Structure 1
Amino acid sequence: MATEPGIAIEAVADDSFIDRVHDGLDELFRRTPGVGDEDAMLFRLAVSEVATNVVAHASSREPVRVTVELDADGTALSAVFSDTAEPALIDLDGVSMPGEDAESGRGLAIALATLDELIHETEHGNVWRLRRLRHDS
């Protein structure tokens, strides 16, 4: 997709993984000229929310391994998360923003609002596919 190879990060699903994802996004935006501020901000927000959910909900007898592949081309920004956790039973069609008083539950609603595509697959662990079309305004 990108002129330079995309960025792949492999780690155990813990808080340091989230920091590594942010560092990877910084590098992706350095490698990809012309990404507009709004596109970068909204894509970063969605990726951060999914990374945080992966870490927060990672449960298994063994440490959960997670990989994220970040990429960009002239038309879109993308991220693919894969993990070894038990499949998450989530109906993305039923996700909505919780009430003002809720202390959690906004992550996927925010991701859905800021992305053009969010797909969750559960055949082998969890795979999250995120895509935001570039507007570069």
Structure 2
Amino acid sequence: MGSDPVVREVTGPAELALVDAVHDALDQIWRDVPGVTDEDRMLFALAVSEVATNVVEHAAGDGRPTVSIRLSADDTELVAVMSDDADPALIRLDEVTMPGADAESGRGLALALAALDELRHETDDGNVWILRRKRRPSA
């Protein structure tokens, strides 16, 4: 990353309220980091929302898994790191494709892949998702 990043962290149980808290944290970042283009804001927020929603909806394990999301932004890139203590997800990002027009779900990861410069999923004792979008210059 370039300059010192502005960082916001959200942690909580794998519930949809966590996704709302992530949107609030992104709004704080947009206020604190000047010059992020509308396109970068929209596409990064879309990707973060889609992955966070998937994490919350599909987290499996004993009890209600806990999710931690670290959002950061500086003058060169936007980054989100999401980790949970759920059972490892069996996801192959290289096999993700956009579903047909009549599909009612299944677009989240495909949209995130299209919006980001990097989307990575790692497993160990849970899951870690790394989302990275390089900032585009203002017009």
1:32 equivalenced with 2:48 (yes/no): no
Cα deviation digits, residues 77-114 of structure 1 (max 9, x gap): 00000001100010000000000111111000000000
Please name the residue that 2:104 is paired with. Answer: 103
Unpaired runs of at least 5, structure 2? none
Distance 2:116 2:5 in 1: 23
CA-based RMSD = 1.2
More deviation, 30-39/3-12: 3-12
After the TM superposition, which residues 49-64 of structure 1 pair with which residues of structure 2 at under 5 Å, given as runs? 49-64=50-65
Per the TM alignment, residue 136 of structure 1 is displaced from its structure 2 partner at its CA by 3.6
After the TM superposition, which residues 82-121 of structure 1 pair with which residues of structure 2 at under 5 Å, given as runs? 82-121=83-122
Per the TM alignment, residue 31 of structure 1 is displaced from its structure 2 partner at its CA by 1.1
Q: Compared with structure 1, are the counterparts of its residues 59 and 32 closer, same or farther at alpha carbon in structure 2 (3 Å cutoff)?
A: same
Please name the residue that 2:135 is paired with. Answer: 134
- The two structures have a TM-score, normalised by structure 2, of 0.94
Letter in 1 for 2:72: D
Identity of aligned residues (%): 58
Per the TM alignment, residue 5 of structure 1 is displaced from its structure 2 partner at its CA by 4.5
1:6 equivalenced with 2:33 (yes/no): no
- The two structures have a TM-score, normalised by structure 1, of 0.96
SS at match of 1:85: coil
Letter in 2 for 1:102: A
SS at match of 2:112: helix
More deviation, 96-105/54-63: 54-63
